[in-house]
Amino acid sequence: MQLASLQFLYLFLPASLAVYHLFPRRMRYGVLLGISLVFYLLAEPASLLLALVSVTADFGLGLLMERFEERNRRRKAIMLSMVGKNLLLFFGVSCYCQLHGIQTPLGLPVFTLLGVGYAVDIYNGEALYEHSWAKFMLAHTLFMKLPAGPLVRYRTLREQFAAKKADLAAMGEPAALFIQGIAKQVILGAPMRQLYNTLSTFSQAEHSVFSLWLMPLCAAMSLYFSLSGYCDMARGLGGLFGISLPRNFYYPYQSRSITDFVGRFNISVTAYLKTYIYHPLGEDSGSFVSSALNIGVVTLLWGIWFGFRINYLLWGIYFVLLILLERSGWGKILMRLPVFFLRVYTFSLVLLSFVIFNGRSVGQSLFFFQGMLGLGGLPLATSPALYLISQYAPYLVLAVLFSTSLPHSLKGVLREKSPVAAAITGAVCYGMLLILSTGFILHP
């Protein structure tokens, strides 16, 4: 079951909300665990079994670790075994799935990396040992973050399982955020993906300079609207069930530098890597070389988060080099330039990065780069590409517009001037958006 599906929207969600809010407050985390397990069962029963076994093992190992003194070597061994088990599961299963062309089990990155974080946190005394299997399981299998995160530290989630009074007035915004997430995925993300997929079926002879520039633009928009759509849905759903989840994207395509972009794109992954890798490595407090290495390791991992392919690795290296360039003084020069120029500069570099990201091989990416620069004798534009853009132009324009903060700023202005008008307009707009999204799900 997907979050942007009819059965989830109009069967699972209303039923879950009704059940969750009908139960007494002290029982709600148990109900939410039940809801999450049913979601898992409906979506991928086999993955549920994997999650149950892995998370229960982490729970048991955590309790075992608690038995030993702080400086006991066995404690360290248990922590390392928890980290090792989860990383092995994450990398092993992901690699296996990628090699065999099958889908990675639902929630695998979420529950394994959360397990790693939990092991390190309790070992360092930064989180309390969990004694409730249900709460531990809930934190790992919370249904809204299973498809695509965001990655949250265990203790951040755990603090929110305390019984709270449901506030009806606070449920409108999460519901709106959820609808916004669906709309991002089905109205803008899906057409961008379709356009990209069609362009990627072009043979080298069919490509033109125009189609090669269009491809990374579509890829960038498709990835953004797909992932940020998921995150908005997760955050919205979290709000409806009384759990606050962090945002994962903060208008990354209007960043003013590559360093800024990395901080705005896949924020929760960046934060996770900083917490568990960058900080322990010493951040950038050492020499330039060690700082560069630290930044390099984190950014590379940020790149291969999307999979284990040479192109993703190169994508990470591309950003490492650009960040190091900005740190070495180029960044200071950039900061003196007008904001508009900085945004164009950053977006252009990000766009070029998607040529690496989406290439099936290094050779293909090189061909694309050459073609984009007009080398290799490619025509400026061909009819098939122009025809495609004639089909998708309005979606592309809307995607570019909604990837900026402009609509949000307009909403803010209206809310400031007239809260009632903003509420009415918001209700109408979100109602229409849900109807439209439903239409796009029914008739993609």
List interacting residues with other proteins (CB under 8 A). Answer: 1-2, 5-7, 9-11, 13-14, 17, 41-46, 168-172, 175-176, 179, 382-384, 386-387, 390-395, 419-420, 423, 426-427, 430-431, 434-436, 438-440, 442-443
Nearest approach in angstroms of CB 239 to other proteins is 11
- The amino acid occupying position 150 is P
Of the pair 351, 436, the CB lying nearest other proteins is at 436
Tokens of 379: 């025509």
CA distance 19 to 420: 31
Of the pair 106, 295, the CB lying nearest other proteins is at 106
Nearest approach in angstroms of CB 118 to other proteins is 29
Of the pair 92, 431, the CB lying nearest other proteins is at 431
Q: Which residues contact 196 (CB under 8 A, 6 or more apart)?
A: 215, 218, 219, 222, 358
Could you give the 3-state DSSP secondary structure of residue 404? coil
Tokens of 419: 């809260």
- Phi/psi class of residue 309: alpha, beta or left (left: φ > 0; alpha: ψ in -120 to 50)? beta
**Segment holding 27, helix H or strand E:** none
Of the pair 60, 419, the CB lying nearest other proteins is at 419
Looking at the chain, how many residues does it have?
A: 444
Nearest approach in angstroms of CB 44 to other proteins is 6
- Which of 226, 230, 223 is CA-nearest to residue 247? 230
Of the pair 10, 129, the CB lying nearest other proteins is at 10
Nearest approach in angstroms of CB 178 to other proteins is 9
Of the pair 14, 374, the CB lying nearest other proteins is at 14
CA distance 22 to 15: 11
Nearest approach in angstroms of CB 311 to other proteins is 28
CA distance 262 to 402: 19
- The amino acid occupying position 91 is F
Of the pair 46, 339, the CB lying nearest other proteins is at 46
What DSSP string describes 63-119? Answer: HHHHTS-TT-HHHHHHHHHHHHHHHHHHHHHHHHHHHHT-PPPTTHHHHHHHHHHHH
Nearest approach in angstroms of CB 442 to other proteins is 5
Nearest approach in angstroms of CB 133 to other proteins is 23
The CB density around residue 273, as the number of other CB atoms within 10 Å, is 21
Of the pair 11, 337, the CB lying nearest other proteins is at 11
Nearest approach in angstroms of CB 2 to other proteins is 8
